[in-house]
Amino acid sequence: MELMTHSSTFLLPNPSADNGPAPTYVLVVLNRNLPRFTPLLWKHAQLRICADGGANRLYDELPLLFPDQDAIAIRKRYKPNLIKGDLDSIREEVLGFYKDVGTEVIDASDDQDTTDLHKCIAYIQDLPNLKNQNVCVLVAGALGGRFDHEIGNINVLCRFSSMRIILLSDDCLIQLLPSSHHHEIHIQHNVEGPHCGLIPIGGPSTRNKTTGLEWNLSDTEMRFGGLVSTSNIVKGEIVTVQSDSDLLWTISIRKE
C-alpha cells in the first residue's frame, strides 16, 4: 500500500524541505475566530479564499493582530483573491471594500445544498492551474462555535477524501487519514502536540496499528460506543498509522 506523509510545517516561519518539496498551500478563511497564526498561513499560501462571512473575520480581526499598524493598510495588504459563498453573512461594507481593492466575488446563492466551505473546496478542486500539483488546503476558523458547523466541516473532509484538507483553530488541527494509504506523520514538536487522537469516522474501524504514540494501537478495533483513541500522546518524531477505515487525526497546537 502506498505511503502518504504529513507534516505541519505550515506552522513554521521557514519550513524545511527535509520531507520533499513543500505542498502548494491554499488558505480558506471561515466565519469563526481567526487563529493567531493566520498571517503565517497567509504567507505560505499561493491562493487565499474567504468563505462568505469569513471576509468579515478577516476585515475585523486581522488588524487586531497588528495593533501598532494602520488597520486599512493591513486590510489592503491581506486582501483575499476570492470571496465565494451564498453571501448571506458578509456585511455590505466589507463586500464593497474588498471589491474596491480587486478581490473577485462569486455568488453561489443558487446552491443551498452545500456549505460555503464545500463550495470553496469544489472551486479549488476544479482549478486547472492546480490540477497536477500537491495541493494542501488550510482551513482557518474551522473549529469552535456551533457543533453542526463543525460537523459540516468534518463532512467536507469525507466528501473530498482525495484532497489534503486541514481544519485549523487556535487549539488544534484535524485532517483525514484515508484508508487507501499508510500514513507517516512528521511531528513538529515546537509547534504541535503532545496531545493527539485518532477517531474512526463513518463507521467502525476494525484493524488499527500505530507507532510513535504513548498508547499505540495493535490490530485494535475502534468504534463509537467502544474504544476511541482520545487524549493520546505523541512520543516520537514520527507517528505511523495503518487502518482498514478512514480515520481523523487530530493534534493540539502549542500556544507558547
User: Strands 218-222, 238-243: parallel, antiparallel or unpaired by DSSP?
Assistant: unpaired
Q: Rounded to whole angstroms, how far apart are CA atoms 67 and 128?
A: 39
Look at residues 174, 165, 136, 171 and name the one whose alpha carbon lies nearest to residue 45: 136
Domains of the chain: total = 2
In this prediction, residue 159 carries a pLDDT of 95
Grid cell, residue 140, equals 482557518
Q: Which of 56, 118, 60 is nearest to 88 (CA)?
A: 56
* pLDDT tens readout for residues 58-68: 999 999 999 99
Arithmetic mean of pLDDT, 132-141:
94
Residues 159 and 185 in one domain: no
**Phi, psi dihedral angles at 20 (to 5 degrees):** 100, 180
Q: How far apart are CA 49 and CA 216, in angstroms?
A: 38
Mean residue pLDDT across the chain: 93
What is the separation of C-alpha 115 from the centre of its chain, rounded to a whole number of angstroms? 15
Cell numbers for 65, please give them.
Answer: 493582530
Write down the pLDDT at residue 20. Answer: 65
pLDDT-derived band at 18, boundaries 50, 70, 90 = low
Q: Which residues lie closer than 8 Å to 73 by C-beta, 6 or more apart?
A: none
Residue 190 contacts residue 161 (beta carbons within 8 Å): no
d(CA 185, CA 207): 19
pLDDT band per the 50, 70, 90 thresholds, residue 197: very high
Report yes or no on 66 lying in a domain.
Answer: yes
Greater confidence (20 vs 145) lies with: 145
Radius of gyration of the chain (CA): 18
CATH code: domain of residue 49 = 3.40.50.10240
> Is 2 a member of any domain?
no
Judged on CB neighbours under 10 Å (0-12, 13-18, 19+), 87 is: middle
The CATH number of the domain holding residue 185 is 2.60.120.320
Residues spanned by the domain of 76: 22-170
Residues 38 and 150 in one domain: yes
Which of 154, 170, 186 terminates a domain? The answer is 170
pTM: 0.94
Q: Could you tell me the pLDDT band of residue 16, with boundaries at 50, 70 and 90? A: low
